[in-house]
Amino acid sequence: MSDYADLITRLRAGLIDTEETLWHTAELDEAMRQALADMGLAAGAVYTVTGLDGALTTSLPGQHFATLVRGAAAYSLLWRTIERLEAFNTRPNLPAEVLAAAAALLARFETALNHLAALRVTELQTAVDSPYPAVTDAAQAGWTLRDDLSANGG
């Protein structure tokens, strides 16, 4: 089973749609793409999932799969709420309830994105190699800071 197949199964289970009757796969794929892109921006990385958009490998660490599912569920619920606003509904409070669920999931997703961003900063600060090119690198010399004391004879 590909990572995508596992993630879409988990997403459908979370949305109570294991029979694939409520959510179209294209909608869930787009929600997963959006959540994956947000996670990549927060982490300063390009993440892929085997099987999603033809990716052959998964670069998203496994410990972040739950975050991806949560973000995709949040986007799915948010978009479903928008869809339901215009439709006739026998339950007039349903859009508000779905919107509240989406807001709660988005809040948890944003917390996870902040955690990813903090991890990125920690990784950069503790990296063995500097995240910028060295001054001695002939192919791409690093930044040289001007020494004001030397420039002014001091």
| CB-facing half-sphere around the CA of 112: CA atoms within 13 A | 22
Q: How far is CA 16 from CA 19, 23, 73, in A?
A: 9, 10, 11
Count of structural domains within the chain: 1
pLDDT tens digits for 7-22? 999 999 999 999 999 9
The count of other CB atoms within 10 Å of the CB of residue 125 is 8
Q: Which of 6-10, 61-65, 144-148 has the lowest mean pLDDT?
A: 144-148
Distance CA 38, CA 74 (A): 12
Distance CA 83, CA 131 (A): 44
Note the pLDDT of residue 67.
95
In a domain, 136, yes or no: no
Distance CA 39, CA 75 (A): 13
pLDDT tens digits for 120-144? 888 888 877 766 666 677 666 666 6
In a domain, 142, yes or no: no
> Can you spell out the DSSP letters for 44-69?
TS----TTSTT-SS--S-GGGHHHHH
- Higher pLDDT: 92 or 8? It is 8
Q: Give mean pLDDT, residues 89-105.
A: 74
Q: Give mean pLDDT, residues 33-41.
A: 94
In a domain, 74, yes or no: yes
In a domain, 147, yes or no: no
Q: Give mean pLDDT, residues 82-92.
A: 64
Q: Is the pLDDT of residue 103 over 60?
A: yes
- Higher pLDDT: 145 or 39? It is 39
In a domain, 145, yes or no: no
Note the pLDDT of residue 90.
62
3-state secondary structure of 129: coil
In a domain, 35, yes or no: yes
User: For residue 123, what are the domain limits?
Assistant: 3-127
In a domain, 53, yes or no: yes
In a domain, 95, yes or no: yes
Q: Which of 100, 43, 30 is nearest to 71 (CA)?
A: 30
Query: What's the pTM?
Result: 0.69
Q: Is the pLDDT of residue 150 over 60?
A: no
